[in-house]
Structure 1
Amino acid sequence: MEDEAEIFMGSRAEFPLTFGKRPKAQTPLAALHNATRRPANEPNLASVLAPASASSSSSKSFVSLSSSSKAWLDSLRSNTKPKTSDFSELGDQPSNSTSKISVLEGDGALVCSLRPMMSTMNQEEEDEAMDAKTGPQVYSSEDDDREMIGPPPPPVDSVTEDEEEGMIGPPRPPEGLKMGDSEEDDEADDEEDENRYQIPMSNEIVLKGPSKVVSALAVDPTGSRVLSGSYDYTVHMYDFQGMNSKLASFRQLEPFEGHQVRALSWSPTAGFFLCVTGSAQAKIYDRDGLTIGEFMKGDMYIRDLKNTKGHISGITCGEWHPKTKETILTSSEDGSLRIWDVNDFKSQKQVIKPKLARPGRVPVTTCAWNRDGKCIAGGIGDGSIQIWNLKAGWGSRPDVYVENAHSDDITGLKFSSDGRHLFSRSFDSTLKVWDLRKMKLSLKEFEELPNHYAQTNIAFSPDEQLILTGTSVEKDSSAGGLLCFYDREKLELVSRVGISVGSSVVQCAWHPKLNQVDA
């Protein structure tokens, strides 16, 4: 029985899915042609040109004729008997005297044309026959009194309402609208304009991992591995090349127990990454998540920060040098920035103390390298932005000092690759664009960008035409955070992309090789 069942299923698989189904009833093509065919039992031409009401069947009348053609047929019906004596016996003429009917099939319509040709002709009729061979001729009223065969040609670029009823095909476009334009084309053009920056928004996936706010995000230069740090004190490592449908991380780390992850940064060679937490010690891991070492903590009882061997308070931000694989930059709540050598975890290479309006300790909330690694920017807790150029004999005195750049703590700084602009993000719900040659006033200030997290950053598109940053929402809010895209040259909003309801956008990145936005 099992063999018979297999044989039956095998033979059944050879038949198409439509086997055994009755096709829908369709009008035979022959019936459509017969509707305009001249009946064989009516030899007289007058019977063909008779009014439709006089015919025995309504199917013998011509359909889908323009008003000018109908007027011509009516004029022929009203004419008297033809001049030649044997014209009434046209149907009895030999094979060289025929009536040719050509049928053109359109979309649901048939167009018929009738061309009579006679063997017995006078001089006038021979001229008309010659016109039929050489093409239609247009006569003016001044030439002669000969009657034209067929409907008169319509005036150029003019179509009457009656002719539109009998026209085949779509109507002409209205004036002012180019051929091929339509509302759908306009909508497509609008969509093309909106996405002319090629923002990758076609698909979206959610990587499983952190249970709380994702406060740090880093994609390695090759685009194969992604790091995410969270307020749940963990770092999740994802491998795009070996990821399955579960979208889970292949390794989970907890750098310091009880300390939130604040920053992650890959080395230029993608062999190591820096992890910054709320503790005073930053850690270095290799590509597989194995600990390489941690930097030394300074003596909190020493008042002068330049004499300590490390940070004495929680680190706020950290970045690997963009070109040198041994150099790292960190900023801290102790009010200092430090440059480290990964070959020596016991002490920093350089200590930078920002300029303050009054004595004391003000935290440095964020820091950033420029593209060449020859310039450092720091966001200070008093709302100022300070920039240092790394050169021989340089010290803590900033080369650029912008007082009151923001009215609240600065959460992110980003240099442009061409060295022309600096971008800053703050708790004051703004994103500002600065010209590095004129830092007194910002070029542009984008407002109404809520920010509730100290790690909200700024990112670029691969060609740096777009600036992107995220917005925050209140806890248990019915709305969701937004990923905002701005045109760097025009300094205007391009697009907003919504995220899940109740979720804020803290970190974002646009990888040039993957061409995907991570947030």
Structure 2
Amino acid sequence: MSVVFATAGYDHIIRFWEAPSGICSRIIKYPDSQVNRLEITPDKQFIAAAGNPVIRLYEILEPSAMGGDERDQQAVLTLEGHGSNVTSIGFHKDGRYLYSGSEDGTIKVWDLRSPSYSRSFDVGAGVNSVTLRTDRDQFVSGDQNGYVKIWDLGGNGCINSLKPRSAEGTVPIQAVDISEDSRTLVAVSNHGSVFVWDPTSSVGSEDDNSTMRPVKKFRAHPPGTYCLHGKIAPDCRHLVTTSSDGTAKLWDTATWELTHTLQNQKWVWDAAFCADSSYLVTASSDHVARLWNLQKGSVVRQYHGHQSSVTCVALNDSSV
């Protein structure tokens, strides 16, 4: 399967799309709640859907392999252990385990051979975002108390805690991400401030993570709006931020200048890059997902069918 592209949201439906045509090829009904996050395994065999409070893993099948009503497809694995909304999920690059963050204040690690979590980290506040730093086997989290924390998977727990401040004071960190080359760490506050560090460069001792070198601080979206997501492109050259102002904005990570403003109709909840970073998909409260050509900053295709806000999107067109 060359491309797996799916969206979900408040209508409790996961939709799979043919990206070039805009045709919805498959539907799965998510039984528990709205879907907060979607994530596809690196081998494109499964998709994880995070809701309130469970995570369900579904097999990704070719349309020709489906039998009966695909809406009622059963999950191959249900992960139970969180006590509230699951706000962030991701897979290890080899697909052996899944990690998750929740409003219940924990990060959990799940071995996909078992429905129970194998590790749990107490963050001390609702978790809005978690990402994996693969070069050091660490998690980075952003929480509702405004902290960016780094967690050691080797058993040392939280090894660094940063509380960035901006003109609006201390506000929740809505999204964190680290580039694939591990040279850029970003945190986005829900009031639209972006904080950038170089996690490979220290202004103190080599092992002192608390002294990561700050690179940039700027406001991505206007006062009075909310920033909803932030993601670095696979080629490490751009950052996308999404907002309640109806836009997704693309930022050059070399200069931190704005390169494109992608105008949607309503709140933009999520965004996902294609593997070569030339296209982006956005998910919006106007019930529509959009595919953007990032060289031109223009819409290529719109995906209609959801009956409520589209809150999450997952895309895997990698050749690996």
Common fold, TM-score beyond 0.5? yes
Matched, 1:489 2:300: no
2:29 is paired with a residue of what secondary structure? Answer: coil
Map of 1:399 onto structure 2: 215
Are the equivalent residues in 2 in contact too, given 1:223–1:513 (CA < 8 A)?
no
Map of 1:372 onto structure 2: 181
For residues 228 and 369 of structure 1, do their structure 2 counterparts lie closer, same or farther at Cα, with a shift above 3 Å needed?
same
Map of 1:352 onto structure 2: 162
User: How many percent of aligned residue pairs carry the same amino acid?
Assistant: 18
Matched, 1:312 2:124: yes
For residues 372 and 484 of structure 1, do their structure 2 counterparts lie closer, same or farther at Cα, with a shift above 3 Å needed?
same
How far apart are residue 285 of structure 1 and its match?
Answer: 0.3
Distance in structure 1 (CA, Å) of the matches to 2:250 and 2:265: 14
Structure number with higher helix proportion: 1
Structure number with higher strand proportion: 2
Are the equivalent residues in 2 in contact too, given 1:274–1:284 (CA < 8 A)?
yes
Equivalences for residues 5-404 of structure 1 within 5 A: 199=20, 201-230=22-51, 232-240=52-60, 245=67, 246-257=72-83, 259-288=84-113, 289-295=115-121, 297=122, 311-321=123-133, 323-324=134-135, 326-344=137-155, 347-357=157-167, 361-394=170-203, 395=211, 398-403=214-219
Are the equivalent residues in 1 in contact too, given 2:47–2:59 (CA < 8 A)?
yes
CA deviation string 1:278-327 (max 9, x = no partner): 022111001233311101x3xxxxxxxxxxxxx32101111122x33721
* RMSD between superposed Cα atoms in Å: 2.6
Distance in structure 1 (CA, Å) of the matches to 2:238 and 2:53: 34
**TM-score, normalization by structure 1:** 0.52
1:417 is paired with a residue of what secondary structure? Answer: coil
Map of 2:316 onto structure 1: 511
Map of 2:14 onto structure 1: none
CA deviation string 1:485-506 (max 9, x = no partner): 1111111121211023x22211
Distance in structure 2 (CA, Å) of the matches to 1:244 and 1:292: 33
How far apart are residue 397 of structure 1 and its match?
Answer: 6.1
CA deviation string 1:326-377 (max 9, x = no partner): 2111100111111111221x6212222213236x531111111112122111
CA deviation string 1:44-77 (max 9, x = no partner): xxxxxxxxxxxxxxxxxxxxxxxxxxxxxxxxxx
Higher RCO structure, 1 or 2 (CA under 8 Å, sep 6+): 2
Map of 2:6 onto structure 1: none
CA deviation string 1:5-45 (max 9, x = no partner): xxxxxxxxxxxxxxxxxxxxxxxxxxxxxxxxxxxxxxxxx
2:303 is paired with a residue of what secondary structure? Answer: strand
For residues 430 and 483 of structure 1, do their structure 2 counterparts lie closer, same or farther at Cα, with a shift above 3 Å needed?
same
What stretches of structure 2 of length at least 5 have no aligned partner? 1-17, 204-210
For residues 341 and 446 of structure 1, do their structure 2 counterparts lie closer, same or farther at Cα, with a shift above 3 Å needed?
same
